[in-house]
Amino acid sequence: MSNQTDHTIVRLRVPPELKQKIEDSAEKNNRSQSAEMVARLEQSFDSPMVFDPRNANLITTIVAQSMQTLISELRSEGVENDKLAKAVNNVANKKAP
C-alpha cells in the first residue's frame, strides 16, 4: 500500500454506470476503486494510439458525420456557404503533422 503523502486527492464525477464498472473491475482485480482508476489512467498514457486499418470505414463515417454536424451548426449560426467551402478546402489541403 502506498503512502497517502505521495498522492493528491482529486474529486471526480462519473455517471452511475461508469461507477459500477469501476467497482466491478476493482473487485475483480482485487484492488481499491482508487487504485483501479489510477491503474487505468496510467495505462491510457502508456498505450500509444494505434490506427487499425480494419477500423478505417468506421473512423471515416464518424469523421464525416461530425463534419456534417459542424457544418450544419455553422450554417445555422449564419456562416456563409462560400466561407464554409473555403475553410473545408483549407483543412483538406493541409499536410498531416
- For residues 92 and 12, give the distance between their C-alpha atoms in angstroms, rounded to a whole number: 38
Question: Does some domain include residue 9?
Answer: no
DSSP code of 91?
H
Q: How many CA atoms lie within 13 A of 29 on its CB side?
A: 16
User: pLDDT tens digit string along 44-93?
Assistant: 888 777 888 888 999 899 989 998 999 999 999 999 989 988 888 888 88
* pTM of this structure: 0.47
Residue span of the structural domain in which 58 resides: 53-93
pLDDT digits (tens, 9 = 90+) for 11-54: 989 999 999 999 999 999 999 999 999 999 998 888 777 888 88
Q: Are residues 81 and 59 in the same domain?
A: yes
Number of domains forming the structure of the chain: 2
Looking at the domain assignment, is residue 83 inside a domain? yes
Residues 57 and 78 placed together within one structural domain of the fold = yes
**Residue 6 in domain:** no
**CA dihedral of residues 24, 28, 29, 33 (deg, nearest 10):** 20
Q: Is residue 29 part of a domain?
A: yes
